[in-house]
Structure 1
Amino acid sequence: MKELLKTLAVQRWDDHRYYHHSRINQSLHLLSAICFLVSYGLLFIDPAKAALLAWCVSMTSRQAGHFFFEPRGYDEVNQATDEHKEAIKIGYNIQRKIVLLSVWVALPALLWLQPSLFGLIEPAANFNGFLHDVGIAWLSLGVTGLLFRVAQLWVQQSFMTGFAWALKIITDPFHDIYLYHKAPLYLLRGELIDPMQHVNHQS
C-alpha cells in the first residue's frame, strides 16, 4: 500500500508540474472535474447519460485545455523539452489522445451507419435510443482505453505503475478540484501562466 501511494503521488506530481502550466488549462480541468463527478453519480442512475456528459463536456474541456492552451515549447520550470515530456508521459500523450479521440468521433458515425453494430445489438428505434447506444459505446471506450493503457504500462514498466495510473485517472476529478479551484480567480487577475514557484521549491 505504501508503494502504491508513493507511485500515485509521483504520477500526480509529474502530471501537474509538466502538463498544467496554463491557467486556462487549469480552469478547464476544474470544469471537467466537476462534470466528471456529476457523471460518477449518473453512472448509478443512467450509465449512457453519464458517458455522454463525461465525453461531451468533461473530456472535451479537459483535452481542449491541453491541445489549445498548454504551452508546447521548452519547459523552463522543469528544464525539459516538449518532446521529452511527450516521450515519458505515463498516460495518454498527444499522439495517443489523437487516436483515442478519433475512435470517440468515429463511434457515433458507425452506429448511425450500422445501428445493430453488425448484429451485435438491437437497433435503436428512435433518436433517443441512438443516443443511448452512443453513450454505452463511449462508456465502453472509456473502460477499454483505461484497461488498455494499464496493460501497456504493466508490460512496459510494472503492474504497480499501471494500477497507480488507473487509480490516478479515476480519482483525478477530486484531485483536480483541490489543485485548480483557484485557477479562475488567477485568470481574472490576468495571470495566464502559473509561475510554478512550488515546483521550483520541490524540484
Structure 2
Amino acid sequence: MMNVFQELQEQRWDDHRYYHQSRINQSLHLLSAFSFLTAYAYLTINPVVSALMGWGLAMVSRQIGHFFFEPKDYDKVNRVTHEHKEDIKVGYNLKRKVVLLSIWALTPVVLWFQPAMFGLMEPFSGWSGYLYSLSVLWIGLGGAALVFRTVQLFFIRDVSTGLVWFLKILTDPFHDIKMYYRSPFYLMRGQLIDPMTEVSERAATTMEDEERVRSV
C-alpha cells in the first residue's frame, strides 16, 4: 500500500512540474476539477448533465490549457525538452489527446447518421433521445479511454504503473483543487508562469541527500 501511495505521489509530482507550469492552465484545471466533480455527482442522477459537464466543460477547459497555454519550449526548470516530456508522459500526451478528442468530436455526427450506433444501442427518438444517447456514448468513451490506457501501461510499463495512473485520473479533480485553488489569484496579479520554486528546492534537497550518502 505504501508503494502505491509513493508511486501516486510521484506521478502527481511529475504531472505538476512537467505539464502545469502555466497559471492559465492551472486555473483552467481548477475549473475542470469542479466540473468533473459535478459530473461525478450527476453520473447516476442525470447522465446528460454528467456527460455535458464531464466532456463539454471539464475536458475542453482542461485541454485548452494544455494545448494553448502550457509552454512548449525548452523547460529550464526541469532541464528537459518538450519532446522528452511528451515521450515520457505516463498518460495521454498531446498526440494521443488529439486522437481521443477527434473521436469525441466525431461521435455526435456518427450518432446522428447512425441512431443505433451500428446496432450497439437502441435508436433514439427526438432531440431528448439524441442527447441521452450521446451522453451514454460520451460516458462510455471516457471509461473506454481510461481502461485502454491503463491496460496499455500494463504492457509498456508495468501493472503497478497502470493501476496507479487509473487511481490518479479518478482522483485528479480533488488533487487539482488542492494544488491550484490559488492559481486564479496569481493570474490576476499578472503571474502567467508558476516559478516552480518547489521543484528547485526538491532538486537541491535530493542533491544534498546524494552528497551525504557519498560521504558516508
Please, what TM-score do these two structures have when normalized by structure 1? 0.98
Matches of residues 57-136 of structure 1 in structure 2 within 5 Å? 57-136=57-136
- The Cα shift of 1:51 comes to 1.6
Equivalent position amino acid for 2:175 in 1? H
Q: Which moved more, 1:98-107 or 1:111-120?
A: 111-120
- The Cα shift of 1:119 comes to 2.5
Q: Any gaps of 5 or more consecutive residues in structure 1?
A: none
Which residue is equivalent to 2:23?
Answer: 23
- The Cα shift of 1:35 comes to 0.6
Once residues 49 and 150 of structure 2 are traced to their aligned partners in structure 1, the CA distance between those partners, rounded to angstroms, is 25
- The Cα shift of 1:25 comes to 0.2
- 2:149 aligned with 1:149, yes or no? yes
- The Cα shift of 1:49 comes to 2.3
Equivalent position amino acid for 2:65 in 1? G
Residues 142-187 of structure 1 show CA distances to partners (whole Å, capped at 9, x for unaligned) of: 0000000001110011111000000000000000000000000001
Once residues 48 and 8 of structure 1 are traced to their aligned partners in structure 2, the CA distance between those partners, rounded to angstroms, is 31
SS of corresponding position for 1:122: coil
The 8 Å contact of residues 28 and 62 in structure 1, kept in 2 or not, is answered as yes
Which residue is equivalent to 1:176?
Answer: 176
Structure 1 segments (4+ residues) deviating >4 Å: none
Residues 89-131 of structure 1 show CA distances to partners (whole Å, capped at 9, x for unaligned) of: 0000000000000100111110001111123222111111101
The number of residues matched between the two structures is: 203
Once residues 46 and 124 of structure 2 are traced to their aligned partners in structure 1, the CA distance between those partners, rounded to angstroms, is 17
The 8 Å contact of residues 49 and 132 in structure 1, kept in 2 or not, is answered as no
- The Cα shift of 1:72 comes to 0.3
Once residues 33 and 27 of structure 2 are traced to their aligned partners in structure 1, the CA distance between those partners, rounded to angstroms, is 10
Residues 180-199 of structure 1 show CA distances to partners (whole Å, capped at 9, x for unaligned) of: 00000001100000000011
RMSD of aligned C-alpha atoms?
A: 0.7
- The Cα shift of 1:133 comes to 0.7
